[in-house]
Structure 1
Amino acid sequence: MGAVLLDAGDMRRTLGRMAHEILEANQGAEGLVVIGVLRRGYPVAKRLAFLMTQIEGTTVPCGKLDVRPYRDDRPNFEHDETEIPFEVAGKTVILVDEVIYTARTIRAALEGVMRFGRPKTVQLAVLIDRGHRELPIEPNYYGKKVDTDRDDHIVVRVNEYDGEDAVVLEKKEVINV
């Protein structure tokens, strides 16, 4: 096991704060759409969209984006699980992922979003920012910044897939000989 960075209550409070930050920065929910990166970015996105809907009293649509067809470091996948049942063109897209590390996943996600039209703007929201970028992409909103070593691993557990909500930092074991 590793060090628990966020438990279920921490995640709930963090997402609530992020929802308020997004709404404040955009002067409300008008013209906002949320797109979550599959796999664990999507449940985080659904929660953010739900919270913003509750706060504003107007529905903030949420979709999911499969970035595998747009990755430059993995073979192409034939089956695309993307579901974006709303207009993207002219909207403010809040792109959501659970962790940002090298930013390669976000680069692929931006390419995928553009397939659906030209948004007014794209803003990035992540639950955990762990640094170590390889591309010049930074989140507009983040839940928590965590200093990590490249060999560390951040595990985000969401109730929808894992039966619990938690963020855990797993440090690489150093074996002394």
Structure 2
Amino acid sequence: MVARTVLHDADITRALRRIAHEVLESRRGDGRLVFLGIPTRGATLADRIQRIVEEIEPGVSTAGALDITLYRDDLARTPTRTPAPTRIPADGIDDAIVVLVDDVLYSGRTIRAALDALVDHGRPRVVRLAVLVDRGHRELPIRADFVGKNLPSATSERVSVHLVEIDGVDEVTIKP
């Protein structure tokens, strides 16, 4: 079973640039933006989007990472997860526009855990969700505000995001 590449490096760059512009438009010039990525690849994507936003509108955003390991509802089934560091910007998240960033939105359970983790760190004005890939199959009523690519897939397929900072290549693959 060979994985099929559905997004290449240029596609990922274009999607992240589009997400950055959409976030800025939705902000309407009001409020501090905090991009919080869900480790591992979501944190990398949050950093990339934040850098693009800074190129367009300097000084309006910061980025960090939000570990959700202890908030997951599947710890009893897969208890051997290693927590990743949480990095909250020095200004915190109180009254900020927080954009949670993840690589793939699937069941919605990861985002539910992120929302639970987020409230332990402050009270944002509003929380938005940005994902590189939305593959459907939601188990919870969660949807992304900003999507790089909608990728309908079968539940039996595996969607993988590879990023140059972690994997040495930028691509999204789908494997039967």
Equivalent in 112, 115, 128 of residue 117 of structure 2 = 112
SS state of the match for residue 93, structure 1? strand
Higher relative contact order (CA 8 A, sep 6+): 2
Let me know the Cα RMSD of the aligned residues. Answer: 1.5
Q: What's 2:138 paired with?
A: 133
- Residues 1-177 of structure 1 aligned to structure 2 (within 5 Å): 1-28=2-29, 30-74=31-75, 75=79, 79=83, 81-86=85-90, 87-171=92-176
1:50: how far off?
Answer: 0.5
When residues 77 and 23 of structure 1 are mapped into structure 2, their CA distance, relative to the original with a 3 A threshold, is same
Structure 2: how far apart are the matches of 1:55 and 1:2?
Answer: 35
Using the TM superposition, name which of 147-156 and 58-67 deviates more: 58-67
TM-aligned CA distance change 1:29 to 1:18, over 3 Å = farther
| C-alpha deviation, 1:3, in angstroms | 1.8
| 1:96 counterpart SS class | strand
Change (3 A) 1:118 1:5: same
Q: Mark the runs of 5 or more structure 2 residues left unpaired by the alignment.
A: none
Letter in 1 for 2:86: T
- Normalising by structure 1, report the TM-score: 0.92
How far is the alpha carbon of 1:60 from its aligned partner? 1.3
Q: Aligned equivalents of 1:135 and 1:114: distance in 2?
A: 19
Asked if the contact 1:156/1:167 (under 8 Å) is kept, the reply is yes
Hey, what's the Cα distance between the residues in 2 that align with 1:85 and 1:101?
27
SS at match of 1:61: strand
Deviations 1:5-62 (A, max 9, x none): 1100111111001100110111147411110000110111100000001101225110
Give the C-alpha shift of residue 80 in structure 1: 5.1
Q: TM-score, normalised by structure 2?
A: 0.92
Offset, 1:81: 1.4
Does the CA contact (< 8 Å) of 2:68 and 2:117 recur in 1?
A: yes
Taking the aligned partners of 1:91 and 1:152, their CA distance within structure 2 comes to 37
Unpaired runs of at least 5, structure 1: 172-177
